[in-house]
Amino acid sequence: MSLVLPVLLPLAAIPFLIAAGERHANRREAVSLAAGALLFLHLLRLAPAVFRGARPETRLFDFLPGIAFGFRLEPLGMLFALVAALLWIATTLYAIGYMRGHHEQHQTRFYTCFAIAISATMGAALARNLLTLFLFYELLTFSTVPLVTHHGTDEARRGGRTYLGILLGTSVAFLLPAILLAWHLAGTLDFTDGGILRGTAERPMLMLLLALFAFGIGKAALMPFHRWLPAAMVAPTPVSALLHAVAVVKVGVFTMLKVLVYIFGIDLLHELRLSDWLAYVAGFTLIAASLVAMFQDNLKRRLAYSTVSQLSYIVLGGAVATSAGALGAGMHIAMHAFGKITLFFCAGAIYVAAHKTRVSELDGLGRRMPFTFAAFALAALSIIGLPPGGGLWSKLLLALGTADSGHTLLLAALMISSLLNVAYLLPIPMRAFLAQPPQVQEHEDEAHPHGEAPLPSVIALCFTAACTVLLFLAPTPLYRALQGMVLTGGTP
Amino acid sequence: MITDHLPVLQVVIPLLAAPLCVVLRGSFAVRQFVKVVSGLTFLCSLLIFTHVTRHGAMGYELGGWQPPWGIEYRVDALNAFLLLIISGMAAVILPYGTRSILREIPREQHHLFLAIFLVCVAGLLGIAVTADIFNVFVFLEISALSSYALIGMGRSRRALTAAYQYLIMGTIGSTFLLIGIGLLYMKTGTLNMADLALRMPPPHESSTVIAAFAFLSVGVSIKLAVFPLHTWLPNAYTFAPSMVTAFLAATATKVSFYLLLRIVFTVFGVGFAFEAMHLQLLLPPLALAGIFVASTVAIFQTNIKRLLAFSSIAQIGYMVLGLSFGTATGLTAGIVHLFNHAVMKSSLFLAIGCVSFALGAVDLRAMRGLGRRMPFTMAAFLIGGLNLIGIPFTAGFVSKWYLILAALEQQRWFVAGFCLLSSLLAAVYIGRVVEAAYFHDPDPQLTARPVPRGMLAPLWLLTGASLFFGIFTSFPVGAAQRAALLLLGGAP
């Protein structure tokens, strides 16, 4: 029961959310926060045993003969669930300020879909086999469509269509056959330490299978299936922040890592050199997306392309098939989550307070919104991989893992991309703090003076920014926790 | 004991109830009466199903004449399941129909309409229950003639031409069937299906048997609406009264599919059909062409009933594809889909029936904004649509899983690929309706009258079932697996 609870808790909040409705907005948001807090505490209670090496599991019923529906905790999923739950609380807090400050419609629908999406994320994080994971993967796609199209405008509809089209198309056309093929070859879909595919098929077949997985997991946003992510930016900012920087995209790369580590097994990937091409596709994506990001003036779009690029770091970490790479990938899921959610929070705060969406309009805004832009700067440093941001450690491990695998070209790609990160992220806080505000703007601002965004939003973004610094100072628990993932199954 | 007489009661109850309807005359009395009858019929097949599952096949000798001289009714794992589907559908759709006909059939014709409906039910149940191939023909004619009448009672005058078209095609089909039966009788001197199988001469010795096989399979294919023999179906489904469309879509084609299974596997046997007649090469192109052509045509329909009719032709393609593999998994896929499609397609047609009841129109324009005006109906339609696409957590997913697994087992990669692609076509045609319903503003000129609960309850019963059997799959999958083993000559 305690393993099912993370999935049920967010769902259990829904009747209360609906009952509270628009009329009792405070009560509704309190329910959301309470559910988040309960969820996080519950996961926190489960976590220590898992990080020490326990693998509690449950099978609820047989979904199909031989394939159970159930959950099994392991370090990577546990960590992911913890991060998502913690950030759900932060996002709810943020959303209170944002949605009210922005006078959004249909807020109850918003919170309801949000809860379903979190429930699906928990299900995916804790799934015991590939099919259970797939079920929640698809549930997540559907539950987030109403969030993407929240504004109901033509643009939102177009974005929603691209979003659904690519995510559903790739999962039906590639991921589902990949799962079926794996089931056909191995006769099981359970996530097993060391993988399930050893000795089941020849190399070409396994290559095909990996390709189906790699492009089928559209949420990992490997090029050329990355376009849904910028399209999803029409959503309200809390959605972009939690779902398109944390939950949805991380379910993508998480699934990818699970497949690489627990279905193929790092040893098998390494021996047969199955995933070298995937590492290069990821390398290409991370450079290309960074380059695109440099030329985006719309802040949220720039962050979206940055996300595409950072996701490929994680895929690359898994695909180089070394234990340091896999560890770095796992850590980067958490590090990037805290960093990117802060950036999105800031983007939303700027929008609510100053009604600005373009990078070129931000000159001198730092003086009015010091907390927001300080948080932005810290988070940007973490994403780039500079102190005092936690991203330093995961990027270090990723680089080490890539060096271990001997792909010098990929190592170079990682380094170049980090420079590109500097080039597209750091100018934003620098402009805000150092550039002179334009004169015309000044005149307008006389009429509409503004400071920071609503208080709950500022608290939320300061909290997540503080987390990135905390993860810089104390990364060891994270590292220890994830070691269990590779020690049992990876190369020594 | 009464249990021994269940197989014959199954047919006799609705058959005798039909003339009683005419005697009762009064609309209200008849409408209550048929509900009771459909309940009794369902109870009957429920008892048969449990009995067959526990104790194996049941036989019944009509008039005490022993087979193969007399007519035998025989219920095994396959037709017990089918009886359950037919009578279950009747039991759900009749209560719905007693409301929906209020707006579609003149009050003074209610008793005739419902009497014919019961005759149709009796005919379909008879085809399923009998073990005598000539008796199959008789019941086929009973159900066909009554369905011509039912379709002809549609509100639009075009229903008459639709019924006439169906009559011509259906008569050709029955005639082919009769010729085939005659040829078989000539060669073997028996009409009992089990006995026929025993006396069947090897194919290379007798071209008469080959001709019989050709006549029988083409005749059934017309009834089944296998592409390109499907031309009667779209008009018939479009112009028939709502409850008739839902019932025929759920049962008539399913019974024809059952008949095809019986003829191919029980009468002629796997060896004859697949080694001598090469069904595994003959059917897949037809099935795939049907799936693609019908799905593509469905995309361009503006009448939703017509759209769903073309979708039915495509879905029949999936069932035939499952049969064409000739393996246990393939047959399981076909039979599971028989069940799932009955549930999901009837729920879709019932939803459209509700729309027709409320608005008097069922074209795409009328669907605009219905998501808000008729939330319950359209939510059911949405879930039915997700079933058609084959989204996880819906029954449609289970069908697709087995179908693709069967293709993978035989290493037919292209077939597997085509199945997946075609589900994306379903996503397009369902997507059009869903978009109109949820993303467009309603037409202010159309006024919706409220849909009675008596119509919504059956609709949601079926919708709930399609979700339930998508999550707890053991009942349909178990029944289908037993039936598949039986057809391939295994246990029970």
Instruction: Tell me how far apart the alpha carbons of residues B462 and A241 are, in angstroms, rounded to a whole number.
Output: 38
First vs last Cα of chain B: how many Å apart? 23
For residue A177, the chain B residues in CB contact (below 8 A) are 404, 416-417, 420
Both structure tokens of A423: 């080039």
Q: Which amino acid is at B485?
A: L
What is the tens place of the pLDDT at every residue in B362-412?
A: 888 888 888 888 888 899 999 999 999 888 888 989 999 999 999 988 888
Output B84 or B445, whichever has higher pLDDT.
Answer: B84
Residue among B405, B473, B474 minimizing CB distance to A180: B405
Residue among A138, A173, A184 minimizing CB distance to B405: A184
Span of A57-71, A93-107, A163-177, B345-359 with lowest mean pLDDT: A93-107
What is the tens place of the pLDDT at every residue in B122-151?
A: 999 999 999 999 999 999 999 999 999 999
B401 touches chain A (CB under 8 A): yes
Contact B86, B256 (CB under 8 A): no
B181 touches chain A (CB under 8 A): no
Q: Which of A172, A208, A255 to mutate to test the interface with B (most CBs of B within 10 A)?
A: A172
For residue A135, the chain B residues in CB contact (below 8 A) are 392-393
At B492, the pLDDT band (50, 70, 90 cuts) reads very low
Contact B469, B340 (CB under 8 A): yes
At B310, the pLDDT band (50, 70, 90 cuts) reads very high
How many contacts (CB atoms, under 8 Å) link A and B? 58
Q: What's the confidence (pLDDT) of residue A491? A: 38
For residue B472, the chain A residues in CB contact (below 8 A) are 61
Q: ipTM exceeding 0.90?
A: no
Residue among B405, B409, B423 minimizing CB distance to A172: B423
Contact B241, B104 (CB under 8 A): yes
What is the tens place of the pLDDT at every residue in A338-366?
A: 888 888 888 888 888 888 888 888 777 77
At A430, the pLDDT band (50, 70, 90 cuts) reads confident
- How far, in Å, are A209, B57, B285, B400, B424 from residue B417 at the CA level? 14, 38, 14, 12, 11
Distance from CA of B474 to the nearest CA of A (A): 7
Q: Which of B391, B413, B415 to mutate to test the interface with A (most CBs of A within 10 A)?
A: B391
Instruction: Tell me how far apart the alpha carbons of residues B308 and B321 are, in angstroms, rounded to a whole number.
Output: 20
A64 touches chain B (CB under 8 A): yes
Which chain A residue has the Cα nearest residue B386? Answer: A142
Question: Per-residue pLDDT for A181 more than 70?
Answer: yes
| Rounded to 5°, angle at Cα B389 from B383 and B394 | 50
DSSP state of B198: H
With an 8 Å Cβ cutoff, are B423 and A62 in contact? Answer: no
With an 8 Å Cβ cutoff, are B424 and A181 in contact? Answer: no
With an 8 Å Cβ cutoff, are A172 and B427 in contact? Answer: yes
Helix crossing, B27-55 with B110-129: angle to 10°?
10
What is the tens place of the pLDDT at every residue in A297-325?
A: 888 888 888 888 888 988 888 888 888 88
With an 8 Å Cβ cutoff, are A180 and B481 in contact? Answer: no
With an 8 Å Cβ cutoff, are B420 and A173 in contact? Answer: yes
At B45, the pLDDT band (50, 70, 90 cuts) reads very high
Output B113 or A360, whichever has higher pLDDT.
Answer: B113
Handedness of CA B208, B211, B215, B216 (dihedral sign): positive
Span of A285-294, A352-361, B30-39, B114-123 with lowest mean pLDDT: A352-361
Q: What's the confidence (pLDDT) of residue A111? A: 84
Closest CA relative to residue B337, chosen from B423, B421, B267 = B423
Both structure tokens of A294: 């440099």
For residue B405, the chain A residues in CB contact (below 8 A) are 180, 183-184
Handedness of CA B345, B382, A232, A371 (dihedral sign): negative
What is the tens place of the pLDDT at every residue in A131-162?
A: 999 999 988 988 888 888 887 777 888 888 88
Which chain A residue has the Cα nearest residue B425? Answer: A169
With an 8 Å Cβ cutoff, are B408 and A169 in contact? Answer: no
Average pLDDT estimate for B40-44:
93
Instruction: Tell me how far apart the alpha carbons of residues A349 and A368 are, in angstroms, rounded to a whole number.
Output: 12
Instruction: Tell me how far apart the alpha carbons of residues A285 and A221 are, in angstroms, rounded to a whole number.
Output: 9
Q: What are phi and psi of A64, to 5 degrees?
A: -130, 160
Handedness of CA B289, B324, B322, B190 (dihedral sign): positive
First vs last Cα of chain A: how many Å apart? 35
Distance from CA of B420 to the nearest CA of A (A): 6
Q: What are phi and psi of A142, to 5 degrees?
A: -70, -40
With an 8 Å Cβ cutoff, are A61 and B472 in contact? Answer: yes
Q: What's the confidence (pLDDT) of residue A471? A: 84
At A441, the pLDDT band (50, 70, 90 cuts) reads low
With an 8 Å Cβ cutoff, are A139 and B393 in contact? Answer: yes
> Taking the CB of residue B1, how many other CB atoms lie within 10 A of it?
5
Average pLDDT, chain B: 89
Q: What's the confidence (pLDDT) of residue B56? A: 85
Q: What are phi and psi of B83, to 5 degrees?
A: -60, -40
Average pLDDT estimate for B69-77:
88
Instruction: Tell me how far apart the alpha carbons of residues B177 and B217 are, in angstroms, rounded to a whole number.
Output: 8
For residue B435, the chain A residues in CB contact (below 8 A) are 157
Q: What are phi and psi of B366, to 5 degrees?
A: -70, -20
Residues 6+ apart with CB under 8 A from A184: B405, B408, B409
Which chain A residue has the Cα nearest residue B409? Answer: A184
Output A442 or B159, whichever has higher pLDDT.
Answer: B159
Closest CA relative to residue B25, chosen from B93, B126, B107 = B107
B329 touches chain A (CB under 8 A): no
Contact B333, B409 (CB under 8 A): no
B391 touches chain A (CB under 8 A): yes
B326 touches chain A (CB under 8 A): no
Q: What's the confidence (pLDDT) of residue A487? A: 59
Residue among A61, A69, A176 minimizing CB distance to B420: A176
For residue B471, the chain A residues in CB contact (below 8 A) are 63, 69
Instruction: Tell me how far apart the alpha carbons of residues B312 and B226 are, in angstroms, rounded to a whole number.
Output: 10
Distance from CA of B402 to the nearest CA of A (A): 9
Closest CA relative to residue A211, chosen from A349, A319, A118, A106 = A319
Residue among A138, A139, A184 minimizing CB distance to B408: A184
> Taking the CB of residue B107, how many other CB atoms lie within 10 A of it?
11
CA A70 from chain centre, in angstroms, equals 23
Both structure tokens of A52: 């020490």
Both structure tokens of B190: 């028996």
Q: Is the peptide bond before B202 cis (omega within 30 degrees of 0)?
A: no
Question: Per-residue pLDDT for B57 more than 90?
Answer: no
Instruction: Tell me how far apart the alpha carbons of residues A52 and A11 are, in angstroms, rounded to a whole number.
Output: 29
The helices-and-strands tally (H runs, E runs) of chain B is 21, 2
DSSP state of B364: T
Per domain, the residue ranges of chain A are 5-487
The bridge status of strand B72-75 relative to strand B58-61 is antiparallel
Residue among B392, B420, B474 minimizing CB distance to A134: B392
Question: Per-residue pLDDT for A489 more than 50?
Answer: no
Give burial (CB, 10 Å; 0-12/13-18/19+) of A106. middle
Instruction: Tell me how far apart the alpha carbons of residues B147 and B143 are, in angstroms, rounded to a whole number.
Output: 6
Instruction: Tell me how far apart the alpha carbons of residues A116 and A231 are, in angstroms, rounded to a whole number.
Output: 21
- Looking at B360-439, list the stretches that DSSP marks H as alpha helix, in order from N- to C-terminal side: 370-373, 375-389, 395-409, 413-439
A65 touches chain B (CB under 8 A): yes
Which chain B residue has the Cα nearest residue A138? Answer: B392
Average pLDDT estimate for A208-226:
87
Output A322 or B443, whichever has higher pLDDT.
Answer: A322
Helix crossing, B474-487 with B328-359: angle to 10°?
130
For residue B327, the chain A residues in CB contact (below 8 A) are none
- Looking at A66-195, list the stretches that DSSP marks H as alpha helix, in order from N- to C-terminal side: 75-101, 107-126, 130-148, 154-170, 176-186
Question: Per-residue pLDDT for A444 more than 60?
Answer: no
Helix crossing, A299-319 with A276-294: angle to 10°?
160
Span of A100-104, B153-157, B366-370 with lowest mean pLDDT: A100-104
Residue among A64, A138, A177 minimizing CB distance to B420: A177
Distance from CA of A349 to the nearest CA of B (A): 29
- Per-residue burial over A145-174, b if 16 or more Cβ lie within 10 Å, else e, is bbbbbbbeeeebbebbbbbbbbbbbbbbbb
With an 8 Å Cβ cutoff, are B404 and A65 in contact? Answer: no
Q: What's the confidence (pLDDT) of residue A248? A: 87
Contact A82, A93 (CB under 8 A): no
- Per-residue burial over B229-249, b if 16 or more Cβ lie within 10 Å, else e, is bbbbbbbbbbbbbbbbbbbbb
Q: What's the confidence (pLDDT) of residue B47? A: 92
E strands, B111-192, are: none
Distance from CA of B386 to the nearest CA of A (A): 10
Span of A236-240, B15-19, B461-465 with lowest mean pLDDT: A236-240
With an 8 Å Cβ cutoff, are A180 and B408 in contact? Answer: yes
pTM of the full structure: 0.88
Instruction: Tell me how far apart the alpha carbons of residues B295 and A166 are, in angstroms, rounded to a whole number.
Output: 20
The single residue listed with the structure tokens 């096989």 is B213
For residue B404, the chain A residues in CB contact (below 8 A) are 176-177, 180
Question: Per-residue pLDDT for B454 more than 90?
Answer: no
At B316, the pLDDT band (50, 70, 90 cuts) reads very high
- How far, in Å, are A17, A216, A418, B129 from residue A142 at the CA level? 19, 16, 34, 42
Q: Which of residues 137-166 of A touch B (CB under 8 A)?
A: 138-139, 142, 149, 152, 157
At B465, the pLDDT band (50, 70, 90 cuts) reads very high
A462 touches chain B (CB under 8 A): no
A211 touches chain B (CB under 8 A): no
The single residue listed with the structure tokens 């393609």 is B317
DSSP state of A435: S
Which chain B residue has the Cα nearest residue A156? Answer: B439
Contact B294, B421 (CB under 8 A): no
Average pLDDT, chain A: 84
With an 8 Å Cβ cutoff, are B424 and A169 in contact? Answer: yes
The helices-and-strands tally (H runs, E runs) of chain A is 22, 2
Query: Half-sphere exposure (CA, 13 Å, Cβ side) for B409?
Result: 16
Distance from CA of A3 to the nearest CA of B (A): 19
Query: Half-sphere exposure (CA, 13 Å, Cβ side) for B351?
Result: 30
Question: Per-residue pLDDT for B459 more than 70?
Answer: yes
The percent of residues above 90 in pLDDT, for chain B, comes to 45
